[in-house]
Amino acid sequence: MRSLLAAGVLGDCPAPTLAAAAEEALADDPAFASELFAAATAAGWPASARQALAAALAGNLDGALRLADRLLATAAPTDRTEAAMVAATALAHRGHAGRSVELYRWAGTSSSVAFATVGGLATGDPAAARPPTGDLAGEPPTLHASAARLMADGVRESVTGPPTAALSALVQAAALLEPDGRAALLPDSPAALAALTAVHCGELEVADRVLHRALTAGVGGPLMARRHRLLQAWILMVRGQTLAAAEHLATVTVDGRPLESRDQLFAAALRMGIGRRNSDLGALKRGWEQALEAVVRHPVDLFTLLPLGELAIAGARLGDLARLEPYLREARSLLGRLGEPALWSVPLHWSGLHAAILIDEPVAADEHVAALLAAAGHSRYAAVVAAAAESWVEVLRGVVDPVRVEAAARGLHDTGLCWDGARLAGQAAIRTSDRRAMTTLLECARVLQGRPAGSTGGQRPATAAGATQVADANAGPTQQGLSDREYEVAELVLAGLTYREIGDRLFISAKTVEHHVARMRNRLNCANRAELLALLRTVVADRASNAAGQPWPQRSPR
């Protein structure tokens, strides 16, 4: 039928036939359904909210908004309710949460009231945390309506209750939509909210599975597919699988359609996060202005705190954190209005800690550590992050307890923060003067980066002899494993430059660059180039921070 439509043959079909065909196509191919509805309208069939729904599900939010807004003023009451739902959903995807919540409440169905609760909590309205009272407009208890109510319950629990209750409700909501969710028009999918909740409490396996199931079932149609893929890429990035994350991100825009503001924010933060983890300063500089534009386009809400936190670290790395401060203040204000819910605030404090480390602000870092310690009892994830934060700050102050650091690093790894765990171990290794501790922590960093324990790839094991090579390098001006020149070479190697390009940049020969790389590999006891690159990412990650070379002042007594 699509080929007939393209050839103009269906132009002779009666309008009711076209409208019926559009309804039939809506669940499986909303873009085609939208074309059929348009053909029916051209043949004299009146425009309807179903046509606006098809456009929205296909990702054409401009067309959906135009038609829905017109129907709100002219259509019959039933069509006006559905038009309000379409307009509210489109506005939610574009960051207009206040107007979206207003329209959902006006629609008055149980589903729309549930979506209004989700939107209200996302923007920090504490009244939205109260369960609805009174009779709602009649609506059968369909899978879609039940999923909407569970979504609201889950988000409410994420603010007021334990993370297990929130995650359970949201995963159940996601499961309800899997049998017939392709035609479900959603401001956000329960799978996406379940994944966000799972990431915020360190349950990455749960997040990965629920997103996979939603994509397989096509929940939310093309409109939600990008959201689900972006969150999958986020999980890969957090785990330190930056190449896979970048490949996944590339699939999001393969169709050439521009991203809506929420997706644009996540995509921009992913690019910056991948660049940071790869120590690719060039990528950070290239992507920064685009990332700032994405922040401006989408107002701060509960469900965008992850990308905002990632961008805060990138901004600190680039020395431009001040431009993000107004948005970070709004995030803190939002959390304050909701009573500082630990599930949502802990990752933001974790990001804030690392931004404070990069801009060398010990007082700010201590404040974030104190907030994390105060929330440690909320969940296992919060406890792990709090312990790691305290250990990290102690390392920066020159206090390296290898047993405690390794426990904290492995805790981060076990909750999915694999890259952070390896980085903590690596940073402690280059700051300790104890050769045995250095050996232990370097091996821990290697293991957490994915190298099996005890694997040496044909090289000698990382014994005291190997550690001596690293320790001997401490006599250099940086008091760390690499000289200033080696750090310059390392950063350019990680940026992907060839030896000749690095030599041209540093005014040395390509042969000298090769000599520096060989010496770094020998000092860090790396079996091959891949292992060297992985360890260099850990060693140079905090080089931009003034704190990297000197211990911080000790904490003031409390």
At residue 132, does pLDDT exceed 80?
A: no
Task: Look at residues 351, 346, 355 and name the one whose alpha carbon lies nearest to residue 373.
Answer: 346
Output the pLDDT for position 115: 95
User: What is the phi-psi region of residue 457: left when phi exceeds 0, alpha when psi lies from -120 to 50, beta otherwise?
Assistant: left
Q: Which of 288-297, 304-313, 453-462 has the lowest mean pLDDT?
A: 453-462
Q: Give SS3 for 137.
A: strand
At residue 471, does pLDDT exceed 90?
A: no
Output the pLDDT for position 138: 59
**What is the mean pLDDT of the segment spanning 368-393?**
95
Output the pLDDT for position 295: 96
**pTM value?**
0.81
Assign 461 a pLDDT band (cuts: 50, 70, 90).
very low
78, burial (CB in 10 Å: exposed 0-12, middle 13-18, buried 19+): exposed
Assign 180 a pLDDT band (cuts: 50, 70, 90).
confident
The packing angle between helices 380-396 and 402-414, to 10°, is 140
Residue 106 · residue 119 · CB < 8 Å: no
Token couple for 304: 């965008």
Please state, as a whole number, how many other Cβ atoms lie within 10 Å of the Cβ of residue 455: 14
The rounded distance, in Å, linking the Cα atoms of 250 and 242 is 12
**Token pair 């209005």 in the structure block, residue:** 337
Residue 551 backbone dihedrals phi, psi, to 5 degrees: -65, 150
Residue 197 · residue 154 · CB < 8 Å: yes
Output the pLDDT for position 459: 38
Q: How far is CA 439 from CA 100, 374, 412, 531, in A?
A: 56, 33, 20, 16
DSSP, residue by residue, 448-479? HTTPPTT--TTSPPS-HHHHHHHHHGGGSTTS
Assign 136 a pLDDT band (cuts: 50, 70, 90).
low
With vertex at residue 350, the alpha carbon angle to CA 371 and CA 261, rounded to the nearest 5 degrees, is 120
The rounded distance, in Å, linking the Cα atoms of 164 and 152 is 15
**What is the mean pLDDT of the segment spanning 477-490?**
68
Q: Percent of the chain scored above 90 by pLDDT?
A: 51
**Token pair 């135009």 in the structure block, residue:** 66
Three-state DSSP string of 216-232: HHCCCHHHHHHHHHHHH
Residue 392 · residue 406 · CB < 8 Å: no
Residue 516 · residue 492 · CB < 8 Å: no
At residue 462, does pLDDT exceed 60?
A: no
Q: Which CATH superfamily is domain 2-132 in?
A: Tetratricopeptide repeat domain (1.25.40.10)
Token couple for 184: 């479900």
Task: Look at residues 445, 440, 443 and name the one whose alpha carbon lies nearest to residue 423.
Answer: 445
The rounded distance, in Å, linking the Cα atoms of 406 and 395 is 12
At residue 417, does pLDDT exceed 80?
A: yes
Q: Which of 32-41, 99-108, 287-296 has the lowest mean pLDDT?
A: 32-41
Token couple for 229: 């893929």
The rounded distance, in Å, linking the Cα atoms of 549 and 542 is 10
Domain ranges of the chain: 2-132, 159-240, 258-359
The rounded distance, in Å, linking the Cα atoms of 525 and 467 is 8
At residue 398, does pLDDT exceed 90?
A: no
With vertex at residue 532, the alpha carbon angle to CA 414 and CA 314, rounded to the nearest 5 degrees, is 65
Q: Which of 80-89, 284-293, 423-432 has the lowest mean pLDDT?
A: 423-432
Output the pLDDT for position 139: 67
The rounded distance, in Å, linking the Cα atoms of 55 and 140 is 25
Q: Which of 53-62, 361-370, 472-481 has the lowest mean pLDDT?
A: 472-481
Q: What is the mean pLDDT of the chain?
A: 85
At residue 41, does pLDDT exceed 60?
A: yes
* Alpha-carbon 58 to chain mean position: 24
Residue 149 · residue 186 · CB < 8 Å: no
Residue 272 backbone dihedrals phi, psi, to 5 degrees: -70, -40
Three-state DSSP string of 382-423: HHHHHHHHHHHHHHHCCCCCHHHHHHHHHHHHHCCCHHHHHH
Output the pLDDT for position 49: 86
Taking only the tens place, the pLDDT of each residue in 426-449 is 888 878 888 888 888 888 888 887
Output the pLDDT for position 375: 95
The rounded distance, in Å, linking the Cα atoms of 553 and 558 is 15
Residue 435 · residue 468 · CB < 8 Å: yes
Taking only the tens place, the pLDDT of each residue in 192-225 is 999 999 999 999 999 999 999 999 999 988 889 9
Residue 149 · residue 335 · CB < 8 Å: no
User: What is the phi-psi region of residue 186: left when phi exceeds 0, alpha when psi lies from -120 to 50, beta otherwise?
Assistant: beta
Output the pLDDT for position 304: 95
Output the pLDDT for position 208: 96
Output the pLDDT for position 209: 96
496, burial (CB in 10 Å: exposed 0-12, middle 13-18, buried 19+): exposed
Instruction: Provide the terminal-to-terminal Cα distance of the chain, rounded to the nearest Å.
Output: 74
Residue 271 · residue 308 · CB < 8 Å: no
**What is the mean pLDDT of the segment spanning 11-36?**
83
Q: How far is CA 351 from CA 313, 315, 420, 540, in A?
A: 6, 11, 11, 18
Please state, as a whole number, how many other Cβ atoms lie within 10 Å of the Cβ of residue 547: 21
Residue 481 · residue 466 · CB < 8 Å: no
Output the pLDDT for position 90: 93
* Most confident region among 76-80, 240-244, 455-459 by mean pLDDT: 240-244
DSSP, residue by residue, 208-264? HHHHHHHHHHTTTHHHHHHHHHHHHHHHHHHTT-HHHHHHHHHHHTTT-PPPPHHHH
Output the pLDDT for position 343: 96
Q: Indicate the DSSP class of residue 109.
A: B
Q: Percent of the chain scored above 70 by pLDDT?
A: 87
Output the pLDDT for position 469: 36
At residue 55, does pLDDT exceed 50?
A: yes
Please state, as a whole number, how many other Cβ atoms lie within 10 Å of the Cβ of residue 368: 22
